[in-house]
Amino acid sequence: MSISILRLDDRLVHGQVVVGWGNALGIDRLVLIDDKVSETEWEQELYSMGVPESMSVDFLSVGDARDKIQDWADSREKVILVIGDVDGLTRLCETGARVTEINIGGVHRGDGRRERLPYVFLTDDEFATLQSLENQSIRVTAQDLPATKPVPLGDLA
């Protein structure tokens, strides 16, 4: 089927991703893309506990995910990719990987960040980076749950 969604969410694996998006889209595989988690067995075990047995879960670094993104795009499985930060997202996209759409799901308060939506806080640099991705023909929207209306990136300015 292909990549159903590439989600930017600093909480990584949680109820909105697994239940909200996973069930609504009939996801077969969840891929958590994070350099640190991909090297930490106890964190992988912790995140795995939140994923139902009906869904496979992989833990990959950004570099390893870049190498596999085309396989997921061509797969019969419905795949959701989750990445926790704009820097990792940029590194994933900058190799020419076949990314056509990014869903901003939850980026929370932090140094220099300001509220764009109740669930999206971005620095001006992070926003500019997302705009740059959008300028590369990648659709960027914010949407916390499938039943809510996607918010175009421009509306987050």
Note whether 31 and 88 are within 8 A (CB): no
- What confidence tens digit (pLDDT) does each residue in 118-144 have? 999 999 999 999 999 999 889 999 999
Tell me: pLDDT of 1 over 50: no
Q: Considering only CA atoms, give the Rg of the chain.
A: 15
Which pLDDT does position 97 carry in this prediction? 65
Q: Which amino acid is at 21?
A: W
The gap from C-alpha 56 to its chain's centroid, in whole angstroms, comes to 16
Distances (CA, A) of 9 to 13, 80, 117: 8, 12, 14
Going along the chain from its start, the domains and CATH numbers come out as 2-148 (3.40.35.10)
- The H or E element that residue 104 is part of is strand 101-106
How far apart, in whole angstroms, are the C-alpha atoms of residue 85 and residue 55? 23
147-156 average pLDDT score: 96
Question: pTM for the complete prediction?
Answer: 0.93
- What confidence tens digit (pLDDT) does each residue in 2-59 have? 788 999 999 998 878 888 898 889 999 999 999 999 999 999 999 999 999 999 999 9
Which pLDDT does position 41 carry in this prediction? 96
How far apart, in whole angstroms, are the C-alpha atoms of residue 8 and residue 51? 18
